[in-house]
């Protein structure tokens, strides 16, 4: 294994980053740019492959968004950064191990699990968490063996965020469109054979409160095989749908949705229907999804300017063959790391990890694990920089950890003792080249390896 090592300096300031997604990668970049003290960064990743949601979350038909990985590659190639893939915090390395070897630890672990609706029928067959579907079509090893039954004609997507739009769009792309992306091979076949011809996206509040961003909403109106439609009366029900507090994105969303409501179907074989002011109260079926019961909502002012959905007595039932729940993500606790159960994030004050005794020395958090699952990829840059600036203040004030002195080589050996199959950056590059080569023959950006063992085998290939 080739690692960037030096045995010379033992008084190095070392930072461990747990998680190589956007937040962890931006944090690494900001640490490495700090010139007053040369910081040394070890970037740990649970999977052999880096970049978190850029690889396993961004939809396959969004290659431009994925191209941010070039920035992360430049960071990872920095002389003072070492990548350790296939090393899991809590499995291979404990908090105690890290405290013994690093001056600071930054958690960048995201919010990996789906939020539940908490309604009857949620666990029926063909009721799916969007997080699972996204992981599956993106070839994340954790979701490799999930199965999605797309043999029915109508799917309901619950939620009005960008993940709901990703799911709706992925269900409507043609085989031809999918085939030029890096969608996982196992998903390509299932999606291409899908019988779904109608997707209903259900929002519990009105058009002005939807969490979509404008480009994603516009994209929905440009699908080759699906018309987009909205019932005029539902826009009207939402009170003209304008919210005096609405920001520029929300106002533009309303304009786009109003334009969609004017459209006549153009005869495309599939359609996406956006519905508003509806909340699911039960998913029904004999063993598998057959319908969803929803209540009609009205918007009530919470007094602080925000508008909440309140159920009325009106109920409707919509027949459906599958349900995708896209109502947000949630964090999970890490061993020995304080967790804020209410917010579903690592307990922190401005990025400094806190417990009942106050700020924890040398522990920090960035990204979704810090603020919750919000914003686009770029949002994580400022967020990570802010936390790193707190770390640098603490460095200046002598408030970091004081680990035992160890050489780079000694530390690498220690990590390899814990995880002999740790993957370094050169080895990840081999996986990357292998995947791209596999893709070349069929004109695809790459064909992803979707099992950890396959990745480890490719990492060793010369
Ligand atoms: P999100 O943007 O927070 O949207 C979640 C949606 O679920 C909201 O419409 C929310 O409605 C709704 N919801 C929550 N609880 C509900 C319930 N019990 N019943 C019905 N609806 C409920 O989350 P997301 O879509 O998972 O996206 C996560 C983040 O990733 C977002 O910041 C998103 O922009 C980003 N992302 C970006 C892209 C992209 O840039 N292309 C792609 C995917 C994701 P309320 O507003 O009423 O709570």
* CA 131 – ligand 1 centroid, Å: 11
What is the H or E stretch that residue 129 is in? strand 127-129
Residues 121 and 123: their CA atoms lie apart, in Å, by: 5
Residues 46 and 265: their CA atoms lie apart, in Å, by: 46
Instruction: Give residue 239's pLDDT.
Output: 54
Residues 45 and 333: their CA atoms lie apart, in Å, by: 17
Angle between helices 162-172 and 130-137 (to 10 degrees): 50
Instruction: Give residue 35's pLDDT.
Output: 83
Tokens of 2: 């080739």
What is the H or E stretch that residue 461 is in? none
Instruction: Give residue 7's pLDDT.
Output: 47
pLDDT over 70 for what percent of the chain? 96
Instruction: Give residue 10's pLDDT.
Output: 63
Give the closest residue (by CA) to ligand 1 atom 21: 159
Torsion of CA 147, 151, 155, 161, to 10 degrees: 40
Q: Is the CB of 276 under 6 A from ligand 1?
A: no
Instruction: Give residue 245's pLDDT.
Output: 61
Mutate to test the pocket of ligand 1, among 161, 169, 170, 257 (most ligand atoms within 8 A of CB): 161
Tokens of 442: 């069929």
Domains of the chain: 14-112+331-459 (3.40.50.720), 115-329 (3.50.50.60)
Give the closest residue (by CA) to ligand 1 atom 31: 374
C-alpha distance from residue 232 to each of 130, 213, 292 (Å): 28, 21, 22
Tens digit of pLDDT for each residue in 309-357?
999 999 999 999 999 999 999 999 999 999 999 999 999 999 999 999 9
Give the closest residue (by CA) to ligand 1 atom 16: 327
Pairing of strands 198-202, 270-275: parallel
Instruction: Give residue 242's pLDDT.
Output: 56
Residues 303 and 39: their CA atoms lie apart, in Å, by: 48
What is the H or E stretch that residue 215 is in? helix 214-220
Predicted TM-score (pTM) of this structure: 0.95
Of 228, 227, 240, 209, nearest in space to 269 by CA:
227
Q: Is the CB of 82 under 6 A from ligand 1?
A: no
Of 1, 70, 16, nearest in space to 425 by CA:
1
Residues 296 and 281: their CA atoms lie apart, in Å, by: 10
Instruction: Give residue 160's pLDDT.
Output: 97
Residues 62 and 54: their CA atoms lie apart, in Å, by: 10
Residues 132 and 84: their CA atoms lie apart, in Å, by: 26
Q: Is the CB of 457 under 6 A from ligand 1?
A: no
Q: Is the CB of 299 under 6 A from ligand 1?
A: no
Confirm if 337 and 95 have CB atoms less than 8 A apart. yes
Residues 144 and 162: their CA atoms lie apart, in Å, by: 23
Instruction: Give residue 179's pLDDT.
Output: 95
Residues 39 and 267: their CA atoms lie apart, in Å, by: 59
Instruction: Give residue 241's pLDDT.
Output: 47
Residues 352 and 31: their CA atoms lie apart, in Å, by: 15
* CA 96 – ligand 1 centroid, Å: 36
Residues 94 and 428: their CA atoms lie apart, in Å, by: 24
Mutate to test the pocket of ligand 1, among 163, 168, 367 (most ligand atoms within 8 A of CB): 163
Q: Which residues of the chain have pLDDT under 50?
A: 1-3, 5-9, 240-241
* Atom in ligand 1 nearest the alpha carbon of residue 375: 32
Say whether 279 sits in a helix, a strand or coil. strand
* CA 149 – ligand 1 centroid, Å: 24
Instruction: Give residue 304's pLDDT.
Output: 78
Residues 309 and 298: their CA atoms lie apart, in Å, by: 6
Instruction: Give residue 5's pLDDT.
Output: 44
What is the DSSP secondary-structure string of 21-81?
Answer: SHHHHHHHHHHHH--SS-EEEEEEESSSS--THHHHTS-TT-HHHHTTHHHHHHHHTSTTE
Mutate to test the pocket of ligand 1, among 53, 306, 328 (most ligand atoms within 8 A of CB): 328
Instruction: Give residue 9's pLDDT.
Output: 47
Residues 88 and 216: their CA atoms lie apart, in Å, by: 34
Tens digit of pLDDT for each residue in 119-176?
999 999 999 999 999 999 999 999 999 999 999 999 999 999 999 999 999 999 999 9
- Give 236's contacts (C-beta < 8 A, 6+ positions apart): none
- Give 215's contacts (C-beta < 8 A, 6+ positions apart): none
Instruction: Give residue 234's pLDDT.
Output: 80
Give the closest residue (by CA) to ligand 1 atom 26: 328
Three-state SS string across 383-414, please?
HHHHHHHHHHHHHHCCCCCCCCCCCHHHHHHH
* Atom in ligand 1 nearest the alpha carbon of residue 213: 34
Residues 68 and 227: their CA atoms lie apart, in Å, by: 31
Instruction: Give residue 243's pLDDT.
Output: 61
């Amino acid at each position: 294994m080739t690692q960037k090592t030096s045995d010379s300096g033992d008084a190095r300031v070392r930072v461990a980053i747990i998680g190589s997604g956007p937040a962890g990668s931006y944090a690494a970049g900001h640490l490495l740019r700090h010139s007053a003290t040369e910081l040394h960064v070890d970037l740990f990743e649970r999977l052999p492959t880096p970049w978190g949601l850029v690889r396993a979350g961004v939809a396959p038909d969004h290659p431009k968004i994925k191209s941010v990985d070039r920035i992360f590659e430049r960071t990872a190639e920095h002389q003072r950064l070492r990548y350790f893939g296939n090393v899991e915090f809590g499995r291979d390395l404990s908090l105690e191990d890290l405290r013994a070897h690093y001056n600071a630890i930054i958690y960048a672990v995201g919010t990996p699990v789906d939020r539940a609706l908490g309604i009857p029928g949620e666990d029926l067959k063909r009721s799916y968490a969007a997080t699972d579907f996204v992981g599956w079509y993106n070839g994340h090893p954790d979701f490799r063996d999930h199965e999605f039954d797309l043999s029915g004609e109508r799917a309901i997507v619950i939620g009005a965020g960008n993940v709901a739009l990703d799911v709706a769009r992925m269900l409507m792309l043609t085989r031809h469109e999918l085939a030029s992306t890096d969608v996982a091979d196992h998903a390509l076949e299932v999606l291409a054979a899908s019988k779904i011809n109608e997707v209903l996206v259900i929002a519990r509040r009105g058009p002005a409160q939807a969490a979509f961003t404008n480009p994603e909403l516009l994209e929905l109106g440009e699908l080759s095989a699906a018309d987009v439609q909205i019932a005029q009366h539902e826009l009207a029900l939402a009170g003209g749908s304008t919210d005096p507090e609405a920001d520029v994105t929300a106002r533009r969303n309303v304009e786009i949705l109003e334009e969609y409501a004017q459209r006549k179907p153009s005869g495309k074989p599939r359609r996406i229907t956006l519905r508003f002011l509806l909340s699911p109260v039960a998913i029904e079926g004999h063993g598998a999804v057959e319908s969803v019961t929803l209540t009609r909502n009205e918007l009530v002012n919470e007094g602080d300017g925000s508008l909440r959905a309140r159920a009325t007595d009106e109920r409707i039932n919509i027949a459906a063959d599958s349900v995708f729940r896209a109502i947000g993500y949630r964090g999970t606790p890490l061993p020995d790391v304080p967790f804020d159960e209410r917010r579903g994030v690592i307990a922190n004050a401005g990025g400094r990890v806190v417990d009942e005794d106050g700020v924890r020395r040398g522990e920090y958090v960035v990204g979704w694990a810090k603020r919750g699952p919000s914003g686009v990829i770029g949002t994580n840059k400022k967020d990570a920089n802010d936390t790193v600036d707190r770390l640098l203040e603490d460095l200046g004030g002598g408030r970091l950890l004081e680990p035992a002195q160890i050489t780079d080589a000694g530390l690498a050996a220690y990590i390899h003792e814990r995880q002999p199959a740790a993957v370094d950056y050169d080895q990840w590059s081999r996986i990357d080249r292998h995947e791209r080569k596999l893709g070349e023959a069929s004109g695809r950006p790459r064909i992803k390896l979707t099992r950890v063992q396959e990745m480890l085998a490719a990492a060793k290939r010369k």
